[in-house]
Amino acid sequence: MKVKLSKGERVFETFNIILLVFLCLIMIYPITFVIGRSFMEETYLSMHPLAIIPQKFSLEGYAFVFNKDSYILNSYVVTIGRTIIGTLASLFFTAMLAYTLSKKNYPGRSVMTLIIVFTMWFSGGLIPYFLLIRSLGLINKFAVYIIPNLISAWNLILLRNFFMSIPIELEESAKIDGANDLGIFFKIYLPLSSAALATIGLFYAVDNWNAWFDSLMFVNNRKLWTLQLMLQQIISSTNVNSLVSPSAVLQQQIPMEIVKYACIVVATVPILCVYPFLQKYFVKGIMVGSLKG
Amino acid sequence: MNNSVGSTMRNKIIIEKKKKNNTMKFIAWFYKYRYLNLLALPGIVYFFIFKYLPMYGIIIAFKDYQGVGGVTGFFSAPNVGLLHFRNFFSSYYFWRLLWNTLILSFYKLTIGFVCPIILALLINELRNVAFKRMVQTITYMPYFLSWVVTAGLIMVLLSPSGGPVNTLLGLISHIKPIYFITDSHYFRSILVSSDIWKNVGWGSIIYLAAIAGVSVELYEAATMDGATKMQKIWYITLPAIKEIVAIMFILAIGQILNQNFDQIFNLYSPAVYSVSDVFDTYVYRAGITNGQFSYTTAVGLFKSVIALILVIVSNSVAKKFDTEGLW
């Protein structure tokens, strides 16, 4: 159905579209700029400060990022490992606790919920947390990326709310058939929640992928750094060659500007390929400020 | 006398019976809900160790803990009472951190708060579904970048040696390159605008959801009455979302002490500490880098307690505004 628009409305609409196209350009310009320039040669790069499209396609920067002697490749592997293991572990333990907290007939549910929600508002602070991790012996261990971040209270409440929306009749009929809560959790709730699990999985995956601070605080061993921390050091340090590779031969010939760009690209692109597919679930994720008891 | 001894004895027996009873009750409860308890156990243990044990570590804010002796060192460290708090309040850092925090929050509460609402209104007016989805996808994108990457992008764009912004400025006016990122005149603007750039799309989601709930008939009726686009936005859309706007604003006020550590840490440098240093960044530098554990725990505790009060007050006020039961 075509709606006839008045002149004023057409002006508004044109103006609106132009404005939003302009906004989109602002949103994608920085990353496009870096992606385009990551494929340039170092000499061309410095001579054409505004160019986005490379004149000659070059993989120089990526060759260094993915060189087997480079710490960057190593940190990439750490980040991928952390994202996969961390996301799966977090999803599993979050779902387990969320299931119990979603049971209205479970005594202790409201106390537990309060205990968890309180941690969203108050924490012991950075220093006690640091001292705890240190005394648990997690310094310089891969486990420091997984265990301390196992459950996010936010995601937990989100999943609990989703579980509470699953009709109770499903559970009741399963109980009549002799299923216990473990069976109901694994055979009914988990399969029914794939959309919610995918959304929360994305949130966990993004958190893991983008994490750098725990790596900075708790890990001195450069071989265990995450990609984001590697990138942070490359961006903020002046003498970066030794950061990138232990091999002196390799250090000599690193085109730092391009390596930096290539590094930003590999640290960004995987997420940008995933999030659009889960876009329709974001609304639920935002609405969960819900502190219903 | 005898009588009273007898009654104490009886009381003791009753108390012990009650204790026994409670233990039995607990065991019965635990057994009855054994599967649910089993599912909850790892998560509860996790929250206890990683969220509540650090709260216990707060005691070092009242002691002089030098970082030796692990957790037992917490106890053996000498008590100093409120010394660290007094030192902090009388140092010039206190006012600097508070002022930086409040002024950055003020910008985020005004400009940063209005932008997502305007964006949601504009996106809502788009009639081409594919274009609308594309605008949404693109504006959500920066939310998924880490602050490390975002800071990297900002430094590339604003670089004084061959960054595109300075190159363009040079082409237009032949001025010398500006060191934006280390200039205290520009730094807060960079913080505020990059925050908006990163979060405006994501922030618009909740308003778009609220607008989507407005009945189409209202707009149709208004069109029949000859209302213009602006009138429809002003008299239909905005009133429909005013509750959620109020709620979001109150919740944002609850967050004014919580500045974005990731953002500031990745962008700032000693040259701009005076305009950008906030509680969390100061705690990191003085605590982790310089090892003043007790003092910075006190600083962190001061901030956390005020922030907790703000959050609790703002949440309870927000609930009052929530006539539709969103919260």
| Chain A touched by B164 (CB under 8 Å) | yes
ipTM: 0.91
Say which CATH number the domain at B222 has: 1.10.3720.10
**Residue A209 touches chain B, beta carbons under 8 Å:** yes
Contact state of A123 with B71 under an 8 Å Cβ cutoff? no
Distance CA B133, CA B205 (A): 12
Give the chain A residue whose CA is nearest to the CA of B289: A217
Over its C-alpha atoms, chain B yields an Rg (Å, rounded) of 28
Question: Which domains, and CATH codes, for chain A?
Answer: 7-58 (no CATH), 68-289 (1.10.3720.10)
**pLDDT at residue A1, as a whole number:** 43
User: For residue B326, which residues of chain A lie inside 8 Å, CB to CB?
Assistant: 287, 290
Same domain? For B198 and B277 the reply is yes
Residue B317 maps to a domain: yes
Is A31's Cβ below 8 Å from some Cβ in B? yes
Residues B97 and B27 in one domain: no
Contact between chains at B327 and A121 (C-beta distance less than 8 A): no
Q: Mean per-residue pLDDT for A128-143?
A: 94
B83 part of a folded domain: no
- pLDDT band of B327, cuts 50, 70, 90: very low
The pLDDT value recorded for residue A168 is 87
Please give the residue range of the domain that contains residue B27.
1-32
Q: Closest-CA residue in chain A for B309?
A: A121
Angstrom distance (rounded) from CA B275 to CA B267? 12
pLDDT at residue A279 is higher than 70: yes
Q: Say whether pTM exceeds 0.95.
A: no
Closest CA relative to residue A163, chosen from A110, A97, A240, A81: A97
A1-31 residue pLDDT tens:
445 677 878 888 899 999 999 999 999 999 9
B11–chain A nearest CA distance, Å: 29
Q: By C-alpha distance, which of B249, B244, B243 is closest to B314?
A: B249
Q: CA separation (Å) from A152 to A116, A144, A146, B44?
A: 9, 15, 12, 12
Mean pLDDT, rounded, for A204-228: 94
Say yes or no: B287 and B187 in one domain.
yes
Phi, psi of B230 (to 5 degrees): -60, -40
A-B Cβ pairs (cutoff 8 Å, strict): 250
Contacts of A210 in chain B (CB under 8 A): 145-149
- pLDDT tens-place string over residues B264-296: 999 999 999 999 999 999 999 999 999 899 999
Q: How far is B96 from chain A (nearest CA, A)?
A: 20
- B204 and B102, same structural domain? yes
- Cα-based torsion angle of the residue sequence A235, A241, A244, A245 in order, rounded to the nearest 10 degrees: 180
In a domain, B154, yes or no: yes
Residue A283 touches chain B, beta carbons under 8 Å = yes
Minimum CA–CA partner of A269 in chain B: B145
Q: Give the separation between CA B144 and CA A204, rounded to whole angstroms.
A: 12
**CA dist., res. B205 & res. A149, Å (int):** 26
Give B148-170 pLDDT, tens digit per residue: 999 999 999 999 888 899 999 98
On whether both B19 and B138 belong to a single domain, the answer is no
The pLDDT of B21-44, averaged and rounded, is 89
Same domain, B112 and B17: no
Same domain, B116 and B253: yes
Residue B116 Cα, gap to closest chain A Cα (Å): 12
Residue B64 belongs to some domain of the structure: no
Return d(Cα A39, Cα A45) in angstroms, integer: 9
* Region for residue B201 given its phi and psi (left: phi exceeds 0; alpha: psi -120 to 50; beta: otherwise): alpha
**Distance in angstroms (rounded) separating the CA atoms of residues B49 and B46:** 5
First to last CA, chain B: 60
* Nearest chain A CA: its distance from B6 CA (Å): 38
Residue where the block lists tokens 């049971």: A103
Three-state DSSP class for A10? helix
Residue A100: list chain B partners with CB under 8 A. 36-37, 39-40
Q: Please tell me whether residues B108 and B22 are part of one structural domain.
A: no
Q: Distance, in angstroms, between B246 CA and closest chain A CA?
A: 14
Per-residue pLDDT tens over the stretch A156-201: 998 998 898 888 888 888 889 888 999 999 999 999 888 889 889 9
User: Which of A28, A50, A107 is opposite residue B164, by nearest beta carbon?
Assistant: A50
What sections of B174-260 are H helices per DSSP?
187-212, 216-224, 229-232, 238-253
Query: Is B44 part of any domain?
Result: no
Mean pLDDT value across residues B251-275: 91
- Percentage of chain A beyond pLDDT 70 is 91
Token reading at A235: 């961006």
Q: What number of CA atoms fall less than 13 Å from residue A17's CA on the CB side?
A: 11
Q: Which residue of A has its CA nearest to B165?
A: A50
Q: CA of A252 to nearest chain B CA: how many angstroms apart?
A: 22
B27 and B107 assigned to the same domain? no
Interchain contact A143–B (C-beta under 8 A): no
Rounded Cα gap, residues B151 and B269, in angstroms: 12
Q: Is B226 on the interface with A (CB under 8 A)?
A: no
Element (H, E) at A273: helix A256-274
Q: Using CB atoms, which residue from A46, A211, A272 is nearest to B162?
A: A46
Domain assignment present for residue B58? The answer is: no
HSE (side-chain half, CA atoms, 13 Å) at B269? 13
Q: Quick check: is B57 in a domain?
A: no
Which of A28, A128, A209 minimises the CB distance to B297? A128
CA distance A171 to A159: 17
Nearest alpha-carbon partner for B309 in A291, A114, A122 = A122
Number of separate domains in chain B: 2
Indicate if B96 and B7 belong to the same structural domain.
no
Q: Is the per-residue pLDDT at B326 higher than 60?
A: no
Nearest CB among A13, A182, A272 relative to B141 is that of A272
Residues B18 and B98 in one domain: no
